[in-house]
């Protein structure tokens, strides 16, 4: 069992946050397993193959419910609002089809929403997607993918200080970019933390979705699929079963959540649960969290959405 890893803040009401009953907010930020802050397990060593035998599927099925329950247990609330970005949305589109978990979430805000990625234009993932599964494991091993504490990551702040254009190009190749809306003075900090690591299996799963243009469970091969799922091909995730109201915030230049893939996602989501779709034409994948304009163009809208669903958060 992964240990729940998160930061929790108690914040007094200000700048649009309002609660008639408590006049305060708890803000919790969780970590995905396998990143630099999610390396603990109750029984497994993070040097073992068993520790790294996961993808976003396990995060959705086990980690997301554990994180939600941990926040509710600490705060004493019955429901919470969930704001996910990128892979955090992938987990939610899977997990919030579970009625028990969905009942604990009053509203879901999806930033740079990801599910289908067949039209992805990220240079790095396009290259990886062209490799066979066996080749990816052979190149990167079976455990951790690009940990943040590698010697390369330690050198990146200095590299970014000397050659900021190089760091910009690296991020653009991975995520797409909107350089005009990024704080250029923070690139040394960003590159010291990104990438923060995940499992190689998770990257293999991403590559599988790019090649197949589907949103499906991990492909273990015909024999492995029969053993795991009872069928020769991995089953699709049923996004149409989402049971939480969702607002989507998308970008017109998002290399990971391409507008065509977002349109496909919207066509599958149950219309009665789609509250709003807001698009920023110039935004890339990281702008909702890194963009200087996000504080004025996105966050007030998000706060309004959350406040509108506070009645059920008692």
CA distance 40 to 1: 9
Pairing label, strands 6-12, 24-30:
antiparallel
Euclidean distance between CA atoms 4 and 68, whole angstroms? 10
Residue 3 has φ and ψ, to the nearest 5°, of: -80, 135
Active site residue 258: no
User: Mutual orientation of helices 87-95 and 64-75 as an angle, nearest 10°?
Assistant: 90
C-alpha distances (whole Å) from 106 to each of 70, 161, 314 are: 16, 43, 11
Closest CA to 96 of 217, 243, 238: 243
Q: Which of 254, 255, 258, 261 is catalytic?
A: 254
Per-position b or e across 269-284, b if 16+ CB within 10 A of its CB:
beeebeeebeebeebb
| C-alpha–C-alpha distance, residues 220 and 227, integer Å | 9
Q: How far is CA 229 from CA 1, 52, 234, in A?
A: 22, 20, 7
CA–CA distance, 33 with 55 (Å, rounded to integer): 9
Does the annotation count 86 as an active-site position?
Answer: yes
Does residue 254 have an active-site annotation? yes
Q: Which of 284, 285, 287, 309 is labelled catalytic?
A: 285
Residues in the chain: 314
Q: Which of 5, 30, 86, 196 is flagged as catalytic?
A: 86
Contact at 8 Å (CB) between 135 and 200?
A: no
- Catalytically active residues, by annotation: 86, 254, 285
């Amino acid at each position: 069992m992964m240990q729940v890893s998160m930061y929790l803040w108690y914040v007094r009401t200000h700048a649009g946050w309002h609660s008639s009953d408590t006049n305060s907010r708890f803000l919790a930020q969780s970590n995905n397993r396998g990143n630099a802050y999610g390396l603990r397990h109750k029984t497994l060593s993070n040097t073992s193959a068993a520790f790294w035998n996961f993808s976003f599927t396990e995060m959705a099925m086990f980690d997301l419910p554990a994180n939600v329950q941990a926040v509710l247990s600490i705060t004493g609330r019955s429901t919470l609002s969930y704001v996910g970005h990128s892979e955090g949305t992938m987990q939610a589109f899977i997990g919030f089809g579970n009625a028990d978990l969905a009942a604990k979430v009053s509203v879901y805000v999806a930033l740079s929403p990801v599910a289908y990625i067949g039209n992805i234009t990220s240079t790095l993932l396009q290259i990886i997607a062209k490799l066979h599964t066996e080749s990816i494991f052979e190149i990167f091993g079976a455990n951790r993918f690009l940990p943040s504490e590698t010697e390369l990551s330690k050198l990146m702040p200095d590299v970014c200080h000397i050659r900021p254009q190089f760091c910009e190009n690296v991020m653009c190749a991975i995520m797409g970019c909107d350089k005009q809306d990024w704080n250029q003075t923070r690139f040394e900090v960003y590159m010291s933390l990104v990438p923060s690591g995940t499992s190689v299996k998770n990257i293999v799963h991403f590559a599988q979705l790019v090649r197949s243009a589907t949103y499906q469970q991990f492909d273990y091969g015909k024999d492995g699929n029969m053993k795991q799922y009872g069928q020769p091909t991995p089953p699709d995730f049923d996004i149409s079963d989402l049971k939480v109201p969702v607002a989507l915030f998308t970008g017109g230049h998002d290399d990971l959540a391409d507008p065509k893939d977002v349109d496909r996602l919207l066509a599958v989501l149950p219309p009665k649960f789609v509250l709003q779709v807001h698009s920023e034409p110039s935004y890339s994948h990281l702008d909702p969290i890194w963009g200087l304009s996000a504080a004025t163009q996105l966050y007030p809208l998000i706060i309004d959405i959350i406040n509108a669903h506070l009645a059920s958060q008692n």
